[in-house]
């Protein structure tokens, strides 16, 4: 389960803090947006030294009267013109601290696709999250695509979803940030289709006479466009 980069926008955002409440829970493909932390303050929220954006702390704030506000990315519903994008979980395909080991000895691989993760995910290593904010074509799999608005698949993306159907992000726990087909605030993109049997270096299930293996759902993300 991961965010698949099909025809993505270039240069994702990688310098912003992730809300600690979601550290270690991202699966890849959730919609995240830059919001004020509900529990602000450096004693509550950990972050890398270069991403601690707090305020108001200027003249007139009143020492001890106004608590600092920490801004970070958090799974949320999409709001037009707000800074947001699709989160990369920082584990599969790329994003780990030291990459992945391919071709380990028989019986030693610990994750799918025969790769052993050598470093922690980026969110655990630095507290940051990589956000693909630019318009482009992305593949989303796992719970962010199939969990729906109730975690059980209601209004989730599926093989039966029609092309160009508007895609939204759910706005409440435990499914917040999941991509769904129900209207919740502004649409973040549109559904393109199901990605199946994408491998070019091994025999696909179709070539073996079986049904195609669904891997992810392709979504075109609109980026920061005005509604």
pLDDT in tens, 84-97: 999 988 766 554 44
Distance CA 81, CA 219 (A): 19
Question: Measured between alpha carbons, how far is 19 from 131 in angstroms, rounded to an integer?
Answer: 13
Give the residue extent of every domain in the chain.
Answer: 3-221
β-pair partners for 73: 18, 34
- Token pair in block for residue 43: 């004693």
Query: Which tokens go with 62?
Result: 């009143």
Tens digits of residue pLDDT in 141-198: 999 999 999 999 999 999 899 999 999 999 998 899 999 999 999 999 999 999 887 7
Q: What is the pTM of this model?
A: 0.81
pLDDT of residue 97: 46
**What totals of helices (H) and strands (E) does the chain contain, helices first?**
2, 14
Q: What is the pLDDT of residue 225?
A: 65
- C-alpha closest to that of 169 among 9, 30, 8: 30
Sorted by sequence, the CB contacts under 8 Å of residue 43 that are 6+ apart come out as: none
């Amino acid at each position: 389960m991961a965010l698949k980069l099909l025809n993505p926008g270039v240069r994702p955002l990688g310098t912003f803090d992730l809300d600690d409440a979601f550290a270690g829970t991202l699966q890849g493909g959730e919609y995240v947006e830059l919001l004020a932390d509900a529990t602000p303050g450096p004693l509550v929220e950990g972050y890398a030294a270069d991403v601690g954006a707090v305020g108001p702390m200027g003249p007139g704030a009143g020492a001890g009267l106004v608590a600092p506000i920490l801004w970070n990315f958090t799974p949320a519903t999409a709001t037009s013109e707000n800074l947001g994008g699709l989160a990369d979980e920082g584990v599969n395909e790329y994003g780990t601290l030291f990459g992945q080991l391919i071709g380990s000895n028989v019986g030693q691989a610990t994750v799918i696709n025969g790769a052993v993760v050598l470093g922690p995910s980026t969110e655990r290593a630095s507290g940051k999250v990589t956000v693909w904010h630019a318009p482009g074509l992305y593949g989303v799999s796992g719970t962010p695509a199939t969990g729906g608005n109730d975690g059980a698949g209601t209004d989730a993306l599926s093989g039966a979803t029609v092309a160009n159907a508007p895609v939204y992000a759910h706005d409440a726990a435990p499914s917040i940030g999941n991509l769904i087909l129900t209207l919740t605030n502004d649409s973040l993109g549109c559904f393109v289709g199901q990605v199946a049997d994408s491998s070019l270096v091994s025999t696909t299930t179709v070539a073996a006479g079986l049904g195609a293996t669904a891997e992810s759902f392709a979504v075109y993300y609109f980026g920061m466009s005005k509604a």
